[in-house]
Structures are given as C-alpha cells and as structure tokens.
Structure 1
Amino acid sequence: RSPGLFFSLAGFLLLFTSLWYLSLLYLVWLFLDWDTPQQGGRRYQWLRNWTAWKHLSDYFPLKLVKTAELPPDRNYVLGSHPHGIIAVGTVCNFATEGTGLSQVFPGLRFSLAVLNCLLYLPGHREYFLSCGACSVNRQSLDYVLSQSQLGRAVVIVVGGANEALYAVPGEHCLTLRNRKGFVRLALRHGASLVPVYSFGENDIFRVKAFAPDSWQHLLQVTIKKLLSFCPCIFWGRGLFSAKSWGLLPLARPITTVVGRPIPVPQCPQPTEEQVDHYHTLYMKALEQLFEEHKESCGLPASTRLTFI
C-alpha cells in the first residue's frame, strides 16, 4: 500500500510547485473516472507481475495452498480470514502474482474487494485499481458477478476492520456470526462459496489489546463505526534492525489455505432461511479447514477457532 500513499502525497505537494497543473489535470481525470470502482475496477497484469511482489512473498514467506480445484466454468465468492492489521496474506495472494495465483488457479479472474474510501484517494486509487481491486459495496460486486464471462472470483475479507481489534499473535478470533452479506451475494448470483484462512496473519505485528469493557475499546469501536476503520496500537520491527521497534511487519510465515467450494443455488431474492443455511454451512467448512491445516502450519493441536 505504500506506493499508493506515496503518490497521493506527491500529488498534494505538487499543488505548491510550478507543476501544480499536473495535479489539476489528475483531479479532472478523477472526476471523469469516478465510477470505475463500481464497475469492476481495472487491472494491469504487468503491475500484478512485478518482481517486487515475489520479494515481498519471500520476506515472510507467503505460501498459497490449494485444497481443491476451482473450475473456471462458474463464479465464486471467497471469504478470506482473518483481516489482521493489514490483511497482507489476502492482498499479496489475490491482488498480485507474488505466489503465482494465476498458475495455481488458472482461468479465474480474481477481484479483491476493498473499502470504498480507499478507491477514492487520489493516486492511491490508481494503485489499488491496477492490482485488480474493486469496491466492496453491493453495486460493485453485483457488477463483477453479473458479467457474461464466467470464472469470476470475488475475494472479501469478511471480518473487515473490526477484526483488527482481535489480531493478537497466537489467537484466532473471527468476526463472522452476524456477517452474512457475502452469503446473500453468493445466493443472488449462484456463486460457490469458498472459505480461505491465512495462518500466521495475526503474527506479523504485536498488538495492544484492551478489555472489551474498557473505555479504550469503546473508543476504538466508536471510531470504527464512524470512519470505517479501526485505530489500533500495533508495532513490528525497525527498518534496519529486527530487534528495534517500528512499523515494518515481522518476518513470520503466512500460509493461505483455499478451501473446497460450497455449491450455492441462484436465488435473486434469497430468504433469511436460505441465507442462514448457507452461512452455517460456510462456518462449518471454515472450521473444518482450520482444523485440517492448523498443525501443518505450526499451531498446537489444542488451538481452536473462535467466532464472534
């Protein structure tokens, strides 16, 4: 995400130089291109293929594990867990070719759904859109999954920013029990549901956790409701030394396991009973995926997945 932030800052600073007109031209382009995030975004494969993504994947290292085939003759809604602090496993595996996504799942076109506000920051939006991101709202996701060409795969970090509050190393707590919008989306389009879990996502930063009844936790939840992001106190390593504190993520292995698809019928107006049924099936499949792979990913056999 750093390149996007850099270009946003650079565009702002240009306003105070003799090249101010470049920023003005970009604002005109932003106005003309305003609806692109709601229409599936756009992607540049050459950017997704940057060698830098492979170096980033090697840093942790990142690993993408396929447990079943995802045939390109249908569409998919992938629920990715957990969010962690920055969802680095989800972003690197599904918005780049750092772990060879197109070779692992040939024929599929993945679209990472992100917060709408991230796709309207000048400069920053171009970076996200170029990696194949689209808005996480209903209009955008309906547009992607309603295309005539099959093989579309929408990736949604279901727990969202709220899960950053529980991104404590060694813990596996997911905000999922009342998150059912992704199931409704799958039912409206008859897209198969696919559970995804990134083991190690919560280990790349240290997080200051507050008690649920503390004023600090209440403040975090309130800000999250107002601004759609959750302010957390976290730290990693320094730029030049792994022993110093800083904002670089720690080099901890992240293994993203993609589960088996759950077939879903197409129901343009799904009932609550249908949504609850497939939501329950999804939760069971995700828990089974976690149990099957936790020990091979370095977790003790006693580790359990918690849903809130």
Structure 2
Amino acid sequence: PKEASSSWSSVITDQFDSNWSFWQPGRGGTVFIVTQVFGWFFFATSLLLLAWVGKFAVRAVKTHRSLALPTAAVMIAAQLVIAGSLTFFKDAQGDPKGQGALGASWKLRLDLASEASTMFLFYCPHYIIISALLIPYLVLPVSWASSIMMGFHLPLYLLGSLGQPQTTGAREYPAFRSWLAESFVKIHDRFLGGVSYTIEGRRSARRGGRKLVFAYHPHALYPLGVVVFHLLPAFRDAFPAVDPVTLVASVIFRLPFMSDLALWAGCREVTATTFRRALRERGSVALVPGGQAEICVAPRAHHPTRPELVLNTRHKGFVKIALEQQADLVPVLCFGEIYQLRNGISLPRLQAWTYRKFGFPVPFLPVGRFFVPLPLPREGGRALHFVVGEPLRVPEIAEGEAITRELVEATHAEYYARVADLYHSHKDAAGYENVQLKLES
C-alpha cells in the first residue's frame, strides 16, 4: 500500500508538473491572449455596472432598472469570450514546465502588450470615448462627473477644433503618421495574416507633375486601409514624391478623440472645398468614392454561397473635381479588409434609410470573432492585399471651358470599367475567385 500510495503520488505530481504551465502569463498564443484580455475587460466592466445597479437598487430608484439588461448582456459576453478563448490556446512544444514563458524577456512581453493596445486603439476608439464619458459617472457623484465633463472634456474638444484643422490639416503630425504605418504592419503581421502590395501604376504616376486622386475600394465597415495604404513602405518606394491627403467622412471630426486621431494622421473632411484645397497644396488625395453607403451592402460579401463585393457608383463629384483640377484617377483595391469585420446587426433596409436621412447607417455594430470588436482572424479570413492600378488620364479641359455632364458621365464610366478590370485581374491571387463584383448606383 505504501508503494502504491507513493506511485500514485508520483503520477499526480508528474501530471501536475506537466500541466501547471497552462495558465502562465504570456502563453497560449496571440489570439488566446487578446481574447482573454477582452474577456476580463468585459468582466470588470460588468462588475462596475453591477455595483452601479446595486447602488440604485438599495436606494429604490426605479428609473435605473433598465440598466439590468445591458449589465446582464456584458456579463454573458464576458463569459462567452473567456470560454471561447480556450479554443485558441496553443501550448508550446518541448517546454512542459513553461520555462520559456517565464524566462522570456520583458521586451517581448511589452512588444506584445504594445501591439495589442495599438490594435485596440486602431479599431476600437469608440470604446475609449464611451469609457471616458461614462466611467466618471459610474465611480463619482454626478456633480463631480459633470464638472469633469464640462471642465475638461468639453474644453479639450473645443480647443482641438480651433482653426478648422479638418479643412486645413493644421494638426497633422508626421511622427504619428510614421508610427501609424509601422504599427499597422506589425499588428497585421502578428494578428491578421500580414499585408502585401501590388503596384501597376508606378511608371506613369506623376508623369509630367500631374495631380492624382487615389480612389479606394471598397468602403469596409472600418476602412482603416484608406488612411494607411499610402504611408506603407511599398507605396513610398514606388511613389517617393507622392503624399496624398486622406479625405474621410465629416462625422469623424464631430467625435472627441476620434477626431484627434484622424487629424494627427493627416485626414481631412471630404468636402468639395477641402478636396480642391488638398489637391492644390499636396497634389494628391485619397478617398473612398462609394462612401458609407457601401456599409449597408457589405454583408453581401459574407454570403455563404453567393458572396458579392458591391461597389456603390452613385457618386460622381470626385470625377468632376478631378476633371476641373486635371487630376488623374488612380483605382486602389483592398482585398481582405471587408472580411475583417462584419455588422453584428444586419438590417440593410433600415441602415440604408438611416444613411439617407442622417448621413450614417444605423445600427452599426462592427464585430469580429465572438463579438469582440477587433478584426481577429476567422475562418475564410484573408490577409490584406492592396492593389494600386494604372492612373486614368482625364481629358484635357481648356481654361474657361465648362465641364459638361456628358463628359463627367463618360469619364465616370471609363473609370469604373478600369476598376472592374483591375478586380478581375487580381481576384484569384487574393482569394476572391468566388466573389462576384457588383457595380450598383
């Protein structure tokens, strides 16, 4: 019995020793770590909400019973994310006791934490905004929280909008743009399968010093690519003298913090005045011609049997300004971005109606795997692949000559024919062989 007991104890000890490293920090793989971080973040948030609900329950304040449902939803989401993260755990081979993880340099851990935080900053700035606005009201008396709001958040927001930087680009920071490009490549290499580039237009671009309009397709749920594609080394090497201004939706500049990020990255609002000014000052712009209307049709790309990439061709203003400014049109396709996120609530008709009425599609809930608002890898997911096509030389317009509607229509049609040709030339290599291109106005 003693020998049996000793043998059994040895088995238990060996089993424990072989498995104890399972929960060591820094182990399990990148996706496991990121989902764990978000799961525990949701759990901590649910505890704060639960404490707040309990506070009002004790005081018998009935008007806050509506908080019970979102609190329960956050708690359930936390459990689902934490449980789901276990499916991503990857144990290191040949390191049963976790010595490699425990002995890893702090630099490696800090790099991972930095890249995960950067990914959160890139794709979830709205959560930072919501937290900054709500947390003071959750943990402080209402009067104190309101004082913080009026004395700190509001002045900071107003000061940031002085001088109309969304039109002038006055708050653009080259150092931030360089960091943005470097971080974009790092997080895609680590988390999302990498970034690749194909450039067809390097020989003819800026020939004779002509202006350029880089038209980016499609408008995914979160088209960060339009801000970054021209900051990446492949583009800089091909077009060393080209530095486009990115034109984005005006609503971005009405949101605190998101407007700061956009301005630091060199973005300006997509208005005719800003469009012309940017072409005069920098000689090139980047924009998404399809606009936010393409968000409403983005779910069609996720259809299980008949996926369609839908480009909205209704807008023609960018063609008219290109003709007016004698700027060549350069098609840019981004393969893969539309598959990084999907709308958690797909109501195309309602979203199209709210877009027409308010300028933004509602409801809008971009989600990744397990409803985590990050573009984590998923089945069928694709790495990003940018394709820059040959510039379309716009017809010459004599000084004082009117730009006719027929000329705009003809140039617009020729441009989208180029886009279709570019798509069909590269779709197979990008993994889009079964995805049909649809041009809809």
Instruction: Report the TM-score when normalising by structure 1.
Output: 0.82
Q: Which deviates more from structure 2 when the two are superposed, residues 291-300 or residues 18-27? A: 18-27
- Letter in structure 2 aligned against 1:162: A
> 1:250 aligns to what?
376
> Which residues in structure 2 correspond to 1:70-219 (within 5 Å)?
70-71=205-206, 73-94=209-230, 96-97=231-232, 100-147=234-281, 152-167=283-298, 168-169=301-302, 170-176=307-313, 178-207=314-343, 216-219=347-350
Query: 1:304 — aligned with what?
Result: 436
Q: Which residue of 1 aligns with 2:393?
A: 263
What value does the CA root-mean-square deviation take over the aligned residues? 2.8
2: distance between equivalents of 1:31 and 1:43? Answer: 13
Structure showing greater radius of gyration is 2
Q: CA deviation at 1:65?
A: 2.0
Counterpart in 2 of 1:277? 410
Task: Find the residue that maps to 2:219 and give its secondary structure.
Answer: coil
User: Contact 1:78/1:193 (CA < 8 Å) preserved in 2?
Assistant: yes
1:38 matched to 2:175? The reply is no
Asked if the contact 2:344/2:371 (under 8 Å) is kept, the reply is no
**What's the CA shift string for 1:201-234, capped at 9, x where partnerless?**
2221245796xxxxx4332111111222223465
Q: 1:32 to 1:270 in 2, by over 3 A?
A: same
Partners of 1:41 and 1:133 within 8 A in 2: no
8 A Cα contact 1:64 1:93, kept in partner: no
Identity %: 25
Unaligned runs of 5+ in 1: 211-215, 238-243
How far apart in 2 are the matches of 1:108 and 1:86? Answer: 25
In the aligned structure 2, how far is the partner of 1:291 from the partner of 1:154?
25
Name the residue aligned to 2:421. 288
Any gaps of 5 or more consecutive residues in structure 2? 1-121, 137-143
Shift, 1:139, TM fit = 1.0
Q: Point out the structure with the larger helix share.
A: 2
| Aligned equivalents of 1:234, 1:157: Cα separation in 2 | 19
Q: Counterparts of 1:154 and 1:116 in 2: how far apart (Å)?
A: 16
Shift of residue 123, structure 1, vs aligned partner:
2.6
**Does the 8 A contact of 2:333 with 2:387 survive in 1?**
yes
Is this contact kept in 2: 1:188–1:270, CA < 8 A? yes
Asked whether the 8 Å contact 2:185–2:195 carries over to 1, the reply is no
State how many pairs are aligned: 289
Tell me, in whole angstroms, the C-alpha distance in 1 between the residues paired with 2:365 and 2:317.
29
Instruction: Name the TM-score, length of structure 2 as normaliser.
Output: 0.59
Aligned-pair distance for 1:141?
0.5
C-alpha change, 1:32 and 1:236, in structure 2 (3 Å) is closer
Partner of 2:62: none
Return the letter of the residue paired with 1:103: D
2:406 partner letter: E
Deviation of 1:100 (Å): 4.7
CA distance in 1, matches of 2:159, 2:215: 33
Q: Is 193-202 or 49-58 further displaced after alignment?
A: 49-58
Q: Which residue identity lines up with residue 438 of structure 2 in the other structure?
A: T
